[in-house]
Amino acid sequence: MLQKILIFLLLVVLMSSCLKDETTDYSAIDKQTIENYLSSKSLTAQSTSSGLYFIITSPGGTSHPTINSSVTAYYNGYLTDGTVFDHTTNGNPATFPLSGVITGWQEGLQKIGVGGKIKLLIPSALGYGSYAKGTIPANSVLIFDVELIGFTK
């Protein structure tokens, strides 16, 4: 009987430790990761209440896309360690509905106009969250350098 109780308790402990990993709030971890990255690169960024950090290097035109816009952009996406996971090539910008991309892009690209350039530092909750995507590990902070080429409303 004692052996059954010990096995049961061991199972409860193991299951609860797995649950903690699945429910970890990465917002504080991501914030520290982003702030460390900014400090290491001597960069100053603005942040939003959602946790998005951004640096507008060129504001572009006065008209900005909305969540309902289709945008055309050049971009370079990488992790905080510099690993590039996606990019456009010169002469081949990407075009997509803003409503169909990660939340960090949805929020960030509305801050610039055509010709604008922005660096987005996206916490995992505004990216792919707890899911791995291709070569992007789960719970990753994503960095994008984006140039907005155009948009349609």
> Nearest-5° angle of CA 116, CA 122, CA 128?
120
CA gyration radius, the chain: 20
CATH code for the domain of 127? 3.10.50.40
153 against 74, higher pLDDT: 74
Quick one: 116 exposed, middle or buried, by C-beta within 10 A (0-12, 13-18, 19+)? buried
pLDDT at 9: 45
Residue 144 lies in a domain: yes
Residue 113 lies in a domain: yes
Tell me: pLDDT of 4 over 70.
no
pLDDT at 3: 57
- Number of structural domains in the chain: 1
| Separation of first and last alpha carbons in the chain | 69
Residue 134 lies in a domain: yes
pTM: 0.84
Domain span including residue 33: 26-152
Model pLDDT for residues 43-73, shown as the tens digit of each residue: 999 999 999 999 999 999 999 999 999 999 9
Residue 127 lies in a domain: yes
